[in-house]
């Protein structure tokens, strides 16, 4: 797993479209390696910025430990990511952590979490590229 020295606020919310958590699209050739990616937000101001830059009808919902634990258990052989405080659905670069790390940070009631991944936006495909070491 990549080790970065950055930290970010621990995610506490995710965004739903209807009843489905949403996340960024990944490059088609990489999406099979990542079963689920969701947008995670640390506070209301963070998801309000994202919502202002999105045309979709989204609503915040608490990112609960039970959800993180359930997703990690159901898909234990695949990478499961939580994007950290994205400003828009087409942001040039976004930070992410694994769902296991988000669960651990919430369980420890940690204010901050270590950033594990940077995903870069590919404007031609409209999707994000995972770092080479992930795939």
Model confidence at 66: pLDDT above 50: yes
Single pTM value for the model: 0.89
Band (pLDDT 50/70/90 cuts) for residue 71 is confident
Cα distance between residue 56 and residue 59, in whole Å = 10
User: Minimal CA–CA distance to 23: which of 46, 50, 43?
Assistant: 50
Cα distance between residue 107 and residue 16, in whole Å = 23
Tens digits of per-residue pLDDT, 74-130?
Answer: 777 788 899 999 999 999 999 999 999 999 999 999 999 999 999 999 999 899 998
């Amino acid at each position: 797993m990549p080790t970065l020295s950055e930290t970010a606020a621990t995610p506490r919310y995710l965004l739903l479209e209807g009843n489905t958590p949403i996340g960024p699209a990944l490059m088609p050739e990489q999406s099979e390696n990542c079963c689920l990616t969701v947008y995670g937000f640390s506070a209301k101001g963070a998801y309000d910025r994202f919502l202002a830059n999105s045309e979709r009808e989204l609503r915040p919902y608490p990112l609960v430990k039970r959800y993180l634990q359930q997703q990690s258990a159901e898909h234990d052989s695949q990478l499961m990511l939580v994007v950290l405080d994205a400003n828009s659905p087409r942001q040039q670069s976004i930070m992410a952590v694994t769902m296991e790390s988000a669960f651990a940070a919430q369980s420890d009631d940690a204010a901050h979490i270590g950033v594990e991944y940077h995903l870069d936006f590919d404007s031609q495909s409209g999707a994000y590229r995972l770092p080479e070491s992930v795939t």
